Amino acid sequence: MAARILSRWLPPVLADAARALRDAMGTSEWHVAPDGFTRTPRGAGWEDESIVATQAARWAAYVQRTAGTGPLGFSGESESDAPQDDVAHNSAMVFAYTLARASHGRERMALLDWGGGLGQYGVLARALMPEVEIDYHCRDLAHLAARGRTLLAGATFHDDDTCLARRYDLVLASSSLQYHEDWRGALAKLAAATEGFLLVTRMPVTLSAPGYVVVQRPHRHGYMTEYPGWVLDRDELISAGGALGLVLQREFLIGERPRIPGAPSPCEYRGFLWRAERVAGA
């Protein structure tokens, strides 16, 4: 909170100096992980209790802000009084476009949100697509799924991969594929679970350069832990989708560009919407 307020008021030159000092002191949010996923992170990673506590504390405000007609420039991770932000708005509109494609001509659709936390995209889906009945499934770790069940009625929460045994009209992985060391294996499982579309979004990528692993310490979001994740080579991700029989429909800019001290190449977040080739007319 203090850092957010300071960053809004500090002149750019002082903000840059503060960032350089954080980098020099090793207290930056992002670090390159030369040993890849093998380094044990401090804390419990995504199992950390502070994650579910933070998200649950922001849930009511998120539901309230999502209802109505205002712009969707916030996420489930935004503080309730956070100003509207373009990155969150891009992410919401990417999802809106995807829902429109996946539900075209339908009254009902099945959606799997893989790494979906408490089910925030389920709330967003209902707000964005009120004409369509959405059979919303959310897969996450056990503690998040358990809390999600208490918060979002009419949804199905999964804490294991049995949810991948059936097929969905849309499979969504928003800022979740990167946390899987075997991202190709995970992508293949997601591709096999869709009979319509697969959206991998809020995905950290680097352009025309080899991917690398980073560790994020997301303390400013209220998550008092750290976890490793990929910054994937964008071209490699697109070819991996193609090799799985997915046809790229649209690539999206998200607008998030974390500064990663010492990174071999710049990182930015993008989205990729694929359609499964077995769909007639694809």
Ligand X SMILES: C[S@@+](CC[C@H](N)C(=O)[O-])C[C@H]1O[C@@H](n2cnc3c(N)ncnc32)[C@H](O)[C@@H]1O
Pairing mode of beta strands 246-253, 268-276: antiparallel
- Buried-exposed string 28-46: b where 16+ CB fall within 10 A, e elsewhere: bbbbebeeebeeebebebb
**Residue 165: CB partners within 8 Å, gap ≥ 6?**
none
Stretch that binds ligand X, among 24-32, 57-65, 111-119, 150-158 (CB under 6 A): 111-119
* Contact string (CB under 6 A) for ligand X, positions 55-94, x = contact: --------------------xx------------------
Smaller CB separation from ligand X, 18 or 50: 50
Residue 158: what residue type? H
Question: Smallest distance from the beta carbon of 116 to ligand X, in angstroms?
Answer: 5
117 binds ligand X per the rule CB under 6 A: yes
Residues 14-53, interacting with ligand X (CB under 6 A):
46
Answer whether 61's CB lies under 8 Å from 80's CB.
yes
Stretch that binds ligand X, among 5-13, 125-133, 175-183, 251-259 (CB under 6 A): 175-183
Taking phi over 0 as left and psi of -120 to 50 as alpha, with beta for the rest, 239 belongs to: alpha
* Contact call for residues 48 and 225 (beta carbons, < 8 A): yes
Per CB under 6 A, the list member of 116, 196, 204, 271 interacting with ligand X is 116
- Name the residue nearer to ligand X (CB basis): 163 or 276: 163
What binding mask, one character per residue, do residues 214-233 give for ligand X by CB under 6 A, x or -? --------------------
Other Cβ atoms closer than 10 A to 72: 19
Shortest spacing between CB 16 and ligand X, in angstroms: 27
Task: Report the 10 Å Cβ neighbour count for 167.
Answer: 14
Q: Which two tokens stand for residue 150?
A: 């208490």
Please, what is the minimum distance in Å from the beta carbon of residue 205 to ligand X?
15
In angstroms, give the least distance from the CB of 224 to ligand X. Answer: 15
- Would you say 88 or 129 has its CB closer to ligand X? 88
Q: Single out the residue of 88, 103, 115, 155 in contact with ligand X (rule: CB under 6 A).
A: 115
**What are the residues facing 227 on neighbouring strands?**
216
Q: Check: CB of residue 77 under 8 Å from CB of residue 245.
A: no
Q: Which stretch binds ligand X (CB under 6 A): 78-86, 109-117, 243-251, 255-263?
A: 109-117
- 28, 176, 194, 225: which one binds ligand X (CB under 6 A): 176
Contact flags string 135-174 toward ligand X, x per CB under 6 A: ----xxx--x-----------------------------x
Q: Cβ 119 to ligand X, closest distance in Å?
A: 9
Give the residue with the Cβ less far from ligand X, 71 or 242: 71
Tokens of 215: 């560790």
DSSP per-residue letters across 92-153: HHHHHHHHHHHTTT-SEEEEEEET-TTTHHHHHHHHH-TTSEEEEEEE--HHHHHHHHHH-T
Binding region for ligand X (CB under 6 A): 46, 75-76, 115-117, 139-141, 144, 174-176, 179, 202
